[in-house]
Amino acid sequence: MTDTLERGRMRVAGFADVEMEYQLIRQLGATRYGGASIGECLELARRIQSGVPESWVTQFAADATRQQADAERRAARGHAVSAHDGWLVACNSWRAAEYYSAVSDPRHREFGLASRACFLAAMRVGEFACEALDLACEGKPLPAYYLRPRHAEGPGKTLMIVSGYDGTLEETYINYGRAALERGYRVLLFTGPGQMDTLRFHDSMHFIPEFERVGTPAVEHLLTRSHTDPGRIALMGISFGGYFATRIAVHEPRIRALIPNSPILDLHAYMASFAGFDPAQMPDADDFASADLDHIPDSVMPPQTRQMSRNLMLRIGRDSFKATYQRLRDFRVEDAQLAGLRCAALALAGAGEGGEPLAQYQRFLASVPGASGHLFGPEGGAEGHCQSGNLALSAAVSMDWLDEVFA
């Protein structure tokens, strides 16, 4: 009996759960800049139970462990390029495990620090100079990375990048930092209270609406560096970072170019659209606290929704779901502030992000003097949130625009 010839037994199959499917696309998108491999992602998807966070965490943590060990063995044998590539993939796998682990779970910090360690190991043997540093906010040091082409001399154009709710410094390097460095930019990746990287060191710091308290010290740090041209400092914000970056820019005149991706001007309205209703107006009888979540059956609230709700309450710093959304009302940029923005601005958004994000994108364009916009459609595979499906196209649009502004 002869076996049938096959090209392979791997199949392209994702998840029925919409959120987990997006997270898989996010991981697949990172292959463009070395943060994953298609084969490993598809094999992981085959082993993960759709909509079950713990299944995702277990599988990605196991893969990250294997990838990190492989990179370390290759480094020990003197294979620097292979070790670099392996560490970068392991870094992003640890990030994926960190994403779906509960903030209150000790593994959340463990996975995050493992991601950071793999990233720094990759950078030590990589093509760009990288410095891990701290920037102060509320009297506490917050992690950041400063990177530049190794042979860059004199002051040059600089791109500051801040991620959002669940992005990390390391993922931001993979998604946009590397693209900027390839174009000769100096890059500062920074973070603020409540963000993923900060949670690794300060789990009691919560998100703040006044993100200029983070952005201004970051700008001042850059101005102490000899590689910074003060006239060519740009700021990009990813996801929630679209709000953070816009908030910084309306208060910080030393920012010469702004790229919000996408421009979130009202975080409460944005998150209420994500929930499908406004929890800030829910009856008190329907409100719940973090401690109540464990007593809600899966038939009423699936495990993934339960975990996302708990994480949001912890990171916003409120003791109930209703109070959390009431606090989100403070996270907004007013039209009058936008009208006073004098730097060059490019708003990015995906056509598939939904009504509220697109409405805020249009409001940004209508309110900011001279603002440009780019709406990614389905034809480029980049119509999703933050263009995770085609990061190279997103980088081409944003970096080419920035090159022309700074020319």
Dump pLDDT digits (tens) for 110-129: 999 999 999 999 999 999 99
- Give residues with Cβ within 8 angstroms of 99, minimum separation 6: 23, 166
CA atoms within 13 A on the CB side of 386: 26
Range 5-32 average pLDDT? 84
Structural domains in the chain? 11-126 (1.20.1440.110), 128-266+331-407 (3.40.50.1820), 269-328 (no CATH)
Range 22-26 average pLDDT? 95
**What confidence score (pLDDT) does residue 6 get?**
63
pLDDT in tens, 261-295: 999 999 999 999 988 999 999 999 999 999 999 89
Say if residue 5's pLDDT is above 70.
no
At 13, the pLDDT band (50, 70, 90 cuts) reads confident
Range 19-41 average pLDDT? 95
**What does the block give as tokens for 121?**
């190991």
Give the closest residue to 259 by CA, choosing from 403, 122, 54: 403
Range 12-33 average pLDDT? 91
**What confidence score (pLDDT) does residue 137 get?**
85
Say if residue 12's pLDDT is above 80.
no
**What confidence score (pLDDT) does residue 274 get?**
87
Beta bridge pairs of residue 234: 159, 257
CA distance 372 to 380: 19
C-alpha dihedral sign at 340, 343, 346, 348? negative
**Is pTM, for the whole model, over 0.85?**
yes
Work out the angle between the directed axes of helices 38-47 and 18-29 (0-180°, nearest 10): 160
The strand ranges marked E within 103-195 are 128-137, 140-149, 156-162, 186-190
CA distance 57 to 171: 17
Percent over 90 (pLDDT), the chain: 87
At 243, the pLDDT band (50, 70, 90 cuts) reads very high
- Mean per-residue pLDDT over the chain, rounded: 95
Say if residue 2's pLDDT is above 60.
no
On the 0-12 / 13-18 / 19+ scale of CB atoms within 10 A, 14 is middle
CA distance 247 to 232: 19
CA distance 97 to 355: 30
Which amino acid belongs to residue 160?
M
Report in angstroms the alpha-carbon separations of 148 from 237, 344, 393.
Answer: 19, 23, 22
pLDDT in tens, 363-402: 999 999 999 999 999 999 999 999 999 999 999 999 999 9
Give the closest residue to 344 by CA, choosing from 375, 369, 362, 374: 369
Say if residue 346's pLDDT is above 90.
yes
**What confidence score (pLDDT) does residue 118 get?**
98
Percent over 70 (pLDDT), the chain: 97
Is residue 402 a contact partner of residue 159, using CB atoms and an 8 Å limit? yes
**What confidence score (pLDDT) does residue 139 get?**
85
More confident call, 79 vs 298: 79
pLDDT in tens, 62-71: 999 999 999 9
Work out the angle between the directed axes of helices 267-275 and 321-328 (0-180°, nearest 10): 140
More confident call, 235 vs 295: 235
